[in-house]
Amino acid sequence: MKRKRIAVFTLLGLILFLCGVFSGHDWTLYFMRGADLGNPEIYSRFMKFPVTFTCMVLTWMILGDGFHRRDTQKLRIAYSLIVLGDIVFFFNVHSVIGVYCFALAHLLLIYRNAAGIRGYGGRWRLLALLPAILGASMAIMFLVFYPMLRGNLPYFYTLLGYAVIISGSLWAALAAFRIGFFPRGNAVLVAIGVACFFLSDVCVGFYRSLPPGYERVFATYITWVFYAPALALTALSGYDLKKLFG
């Protein structure tokens, strides 16, 4: 486990380094008003994709050091879909196929994070939280994004379907606290990680809805403030933390 611990912390260090480099680059351009308004990630995207890929590697490195074999399998597949989605978005940030890849990943994360709910006695109380999260998401979609995307309704409805799924993913992550299938530390990582996923997707929604300008640039750059922690924390949630940090 010592070698595994060194490898994990080395990859985490690499992620922090890459995030520091592209964040410094992005925000310097933003505050100095030097960003490319049409394609604000034209340079930094080459440093951002390795973060996604490295987080996928973290999930594939779990092997026998996870707390549950099936959980590890679900996490690996979900991250493979996330990497595929990022590859698609690398070439076309408005691709519907990329949205589908992330939707499938979050459906799998819902299945993963809500594990054990059938045997949980208070599941109906947990299910009552879902309409609140879904209602907040629908309010954002129709009050904020619909006016900006009503000229492209097919794309809006695609994002609307995705909003339903990411809302379910956030619910499942919060429910993991109460269900008890995950050890407490893992449940904390799951909840924070998916909450960051949710916030990053809200930022992506602004990026895809706003016209070229510095508001759109801000939405692009702030996305990774949430997306990088989402990827890293959710990947780490698959490890047996007692082995990893013990």
User: For the whole model, what pTM was predicted?
Assistant: 0.94
What SS3 state is found at 41?
coil
Mean of pLDDT over the chain: 92
Q: What is the pLDDT of residue 1?
A: 67
Is pLDDT at 84 greater than 70 in this prediction? yes
Which of 140, 123, 238 lies closest to 180 in space, CA to CA? 123
Q: What is the pLDDT of residues 32-49, one digit of tens each?
A: 998 888 888 888 888 899
Which amino acid, 178?
Answer: R
As a whole number of angstroms, the distance between CA 198 and CA 200 comes to: 5
**Residue 203, Cα to own-chain centre: how many angstroms?**
11
Over residues 80-91, mean pLDDT: 93
More confident site: 124 or 152: 152
Structural contact between residues 99 and 162, judged by C-beta atoms closer than 8 angstroms: yes
Candidate from 52-56, 67-71, 76-80, 128-132 with smallest mean pLDDT: 67-71
Q: What is the pLDDT of residues 5-36, one digit of tens each?
A: 999 999 999 999 999 999 999 999 999 998 88
As a whole number of angstroms, the distance between CA 126 and CA 223 comes to: 29
Query: Which pair of structure tokens corresponds to residue 195?
Result: 């909450």
| Residue 106 zone, left/alpha/beta (φ > 0; ψ -120 to 50; rest) | alpha
> Which DSSP state fits 211?
P
Over residues 106-117, mean pLDDT: 94
Q: What is the pLDDT of residue 92?
A: 82
Is pLDDT at 237 greater than 90 in this prediction? yes
Is pLDDT at 204 greater than 70 in this prediction? yes
Q: What is the pLDDT of residue 42?
A: 82
